[in-house]
Structure 1
């Protein structure tokens, strides 16, 4: 430890609002530590005077009773280092430090002391838990902003200013998100899916920093502006909280119950300070909001695919299958689209990409309206909603319409969604679970559940999709083959024929979902909801086809000769010729 033994500091050299009337055992220790910060840890005296907050037994804003010491503040005014002092009682000082680290946000590092080097402890809180670990020493202060002759990164301004512009991610830099994701795994040792979740939180804060910067202003999220890792980490955590509060405040004015149904970024960042800072250092120089949507999308996919295989396969639909469905259904810029079981949100992002590709430059305003107002989703997992929202934002937004809730509840639970309101439903509903009476009782009203004690989850998922569709609306859905062929599912097929006109069924090989942990035979059903009063022919043509090669094998290895593009064109040509 760099800390030198206690020594009396002359009163004329004391820093801050020194204690005058209370027990003078305390103030000399505080002044010794402040002096040590300048001499042994290289904090500039002027910096300390500007960022120091003295605490004299205060009990406010989460500070425990009897706490004496000080805290150092970030440029945004948040604590990043706590110091707890209790002469001759190191255990009490440590206890109060642990308490303040658990109750006051953003700071994860603190020092407790009884006035001796031997009785001094340095604690770093673990992630976002209440547990702390001892660390050997404080980090020395290093402010590097002046070392770069080009200055800090700034937002573009109307006039020239000293500073650097961020760099859009280029094709040669598509590994940047994967690199950041790897740092999380290496430093904090968390699984790939949890690392992805934390990366999404950091990207959320980074996008907010870019979007909110005034012309010519310095961006907050750059390491060179902070003297220590802990100071920068506290700044990142504050930016993340500000981003969430802004999102909720703005969208709550437009969407009833937004905080309850979409406020998934209220989950705190759980990364350690070193991991958090390393992630931001990796991405801080890149201009996410001005980068090509295609490049950002590919960069995010580099992270998303492995994470899905590692632990979130149940939420994953292969991109090749999604692209086939979107290509056939072909949503237009004027249509409302929903995925009631959106998982990572890929049906929505692919729909946005499809509309952008087919729209003329003059239609940019309508495409923006489509992105922000016409793409909707439901997903129960808050972690997956964060992934989907992040992907949507990187694709040009629409994130505010992904609801973190169960799509099978009564419609009264969805204040901004009504039955039969959507032109297009594309989805891969969960299947494989058998719902009993208790589970069924908490859900909405379903015709197919009548007189059934138990019902497969995918049956209710199918009915809910058709409930969402307006008359004449189009459906593209992945279903287990048993629903389309087994005798015990006859009642489902009879009901289905009464509600939709089946246009095509594409049989997929069993290896379609094998790389993601699901060994089940599936098919894609394309259909149109019958219109009210529509004359329904007893017989009509249905396009039936089988896929043998999806472009990869059961282990996920690439395989030449994928039939999906050709079959997508065949089905599309059929509906173009025969009509929906």
Structure 2
């Protein structure tokens, strides 16, 4: 028999394990939704306390009174953070809720970074259903790596069309704030098909300082061409939203961006005729793998000269069957770096072999890439995880430092080599 985890507030990992164990306990209700509500209520209360308001997330004289005050928090969160919660009350029974509150009321989730919250949300969605769709949260060390490689600027518009919990957007925002003395613009945009992940992304961005996050629940593969096809074929009784319709109609902005980050879903095929006919690489086909279409979609969402960091399965970069896709890509983008990631990267969810691809969109398409174009290729040997997905920490690492600093990986070295590579190219 395995004993329950003991909660030690001084150790980050035990906090996570105990909270996961406690919040996912069988209560007769939807475990994901109730866990999410409790975490949101706790975070909202911590923000209120910082703003010198009285603490509500605590145990009261009776479980009933505890419930009443937690529901007050949830209602306030529902009103102040639209789109983060589906309802402003908990469905846990009084006793179970009282136990949950007693366990975590004295723990601070809003530490010097929001990684503990990020980890909790990742665990909840991954445990519930995310992995079944071929969608896996990107390890935060890989996200930090990609953000440092791209070096987003304060004036640039940033998009993630498969944003999940918003990791790329949150880390980009924090990177910009650090570089600009805590200044930033609300110019990050996220889109995802999973409504639960969208609510998490909205919450994390709010915690990071964005009052009204630009996060939307849409199928990012639907574009203007696919909508036109639906209209022409009389299937427009209820047209779905698209990135273009949201940007153009609701915000009167163009649907092109300066920077793009993406870790598209690895699994699944697209068979919808209106989508297949709206992409170059899938015309006249009866089906195509989802991530292939996402690659074309990502490039089309960029401004000329726009930069991107995209995680792709290895077969899209090396498989014989995808040669035409690579030719299509190289005519439209200039690659600068390809980093092979180890199979442990997305464990314990999948051993899928992947690569991180860095580049920029050409200002004009070419018939074939110039012979003198160089691409740096690198292989990550250590990702900070073992083969089962468990964290491998650096010796004497700080428990509460970021995953980028805490885990034993060699991404630092690749980043340093890439920066040197770019400096040498500029001098030539």
Assess same fold via TM > 0.5: yes
Pick 1 or 2: higher relative contact order, CA cutoff 8 A, min separation 6: 2
The answer to whether 1:303 aligns with 2:120 is yes
Q: 1:208 and 1:380 mapped to 2: Cα distance?
A: 26
Report the CA distance between 1:501 and its aligned residue.
0.8
Query: 2:148 matched to which residue of 1?
Result: 327
Q: 1:355 and 1:557 mapped to 2: Cα distance?
A: 30
Q: Following TM superposition, where does structure 1 have runs of at least 4 consecutive aligned residues deviating by more than 6 angstroms?
A: 212-216, 533-536
Query: 1:389 matched to which residue of 2?
Result: 202
TM-score (norm 1): 0.57
Conserved in 1, the CA contact under 8 Å of 2:332 and 2:365? Answer: no
Conserved in 2, the CA contact under 8 Å of 1:180 and 1:199? Answer: no
Q: 2:277 and 2:423 mapped to 1: Cα distance?
A: 36
Q: What are the superposed Cα offsets for residues 363-385 of structure 1, whole Å, 9 maximum, x if unpaired?
A: 33x23x3xxx1222112222222
Report the CA distance between 1:546 and its aligned residue.
2.0
Cα 1:247–1:557 change in 2 (3 A) is closer
Q: 1:443 and 1:402 mapped to 2: Cα distance?
A: 25
Unaligned runs of 5+ in 2: 1-7, 225-240, 249-253, 395-407
Report the CA distance between 1:477 and its aligned residue.
0.6
Query: 1:530 matched to which residue of 2?
Result: 362
1:110-149 alignment to 2 at 5 Å? Answer: none
Q: What are the superposed Cα offsets for residues 21-62 of structure 1, whole Å, 9 maximum, x if unpaired?
A: xxxxxxxxxxxxxxxxxxxxxxxxxxxxxxxxxxxxxxxxxx
Q: Specify the SS of the correspondent of 1:265.
A: coil
The answer to whether 1:424 aligns with 2:259 is yes
Query: 2:165 matched to which residue of 1?
Result: 344
Q: 2:210 and 2:102 mapped to 1: Cα distance?
A: 24
Query: 1:572 matched to which residue of 2?
Result: 419
Report the CA distance between 1:430 and its aligned residue.
0.5
Q: 2:52 and 2:354 mapped to 1: Cα distance?
A: 54
The answer to whether 1:265 aligns with 2:103 is no
The answer to whether 1:379 aligns with 2:226 is no
Conserved in 1, the CA contact under 8 Å of 2:143 and 2:167? Answer: yes
Cα 1:463–1:576 change in 2 (3 A) is farther
Cα 1:547–1:216 change in 2 (3 A) is closer
Query: 1:201 matched to which residue of 2?
Result: 37
How many equivalent pairs are there? Answer: 376
Query: 1:247 matched to which residue of 2?
Result: 81
Query: 1:223 matched to which residue of 2?
Result: 59
Conserved in 2, the CA contact under 8 Å of 1:342 and 1:427? Answer: yes
- Could you tell which deviates more after superposition, 411-420 or 567-576? 411-420
Q: Specify the SS of the correspondent of 2:298.
A: helix
Cα 1:498–1:188 change in 2 (3 A) is same
Conserved in 2, the CA contact under 8 Å of 1:222 and 1:284? Answer: yes
Q: What are the superposed Cα offsets for residues 192-241 of structure 1, whole Å, 9 maximum, x if unpaired?
A: xx6554333233334445656898654444433xx532343244234323
Conserved in 1, the CA contact under 8 Å of 2:63 and 2:97? Answer: no
Cα 1:555–1:401 change in 2 (3 A) is same
Cα 1:293–1:348 change in 2 (3 A) is farther
The answer to whether 1:521 aligns with 2:338 is no
Query: 1:122 matched to which residue of 2?
Result: none
Provide the aligned C-alpha RMSD in A: 3.4
Query: 1:185 matched to which residue of 2?
Result: 24
2:10 alignment partner, one of 163, 167, 172: 172
Unaligned runs of 5+ in 1: 1-169, 249-262
Q: 1:544 and 1:218 mapped to 2: Cα distance?
A: 54
Report the CA distance between 1:180 and its aligned residue.
4.1
TM-score (norm 2): 0.76
Conserved in 2, the CA contact under 8 Å of 1:293 and 1:394? Answer: no
Q: 2:259 and 2:91 mapped to 1: Cα distance?
A: 37
Conserved in 2, the CA contact under 8 Å of 1:340 and 1:379? Answer: yes
1:465-476 alignment to 2 at 5 Å? Answer: 465-476=298-309
2:372 alignment partner, one of 539, 560, 573: 539
Q: Specify the SS of the correspondent of 2:337.
A: strand
Query: 1:6 matched to which residue of 2?
Result: none
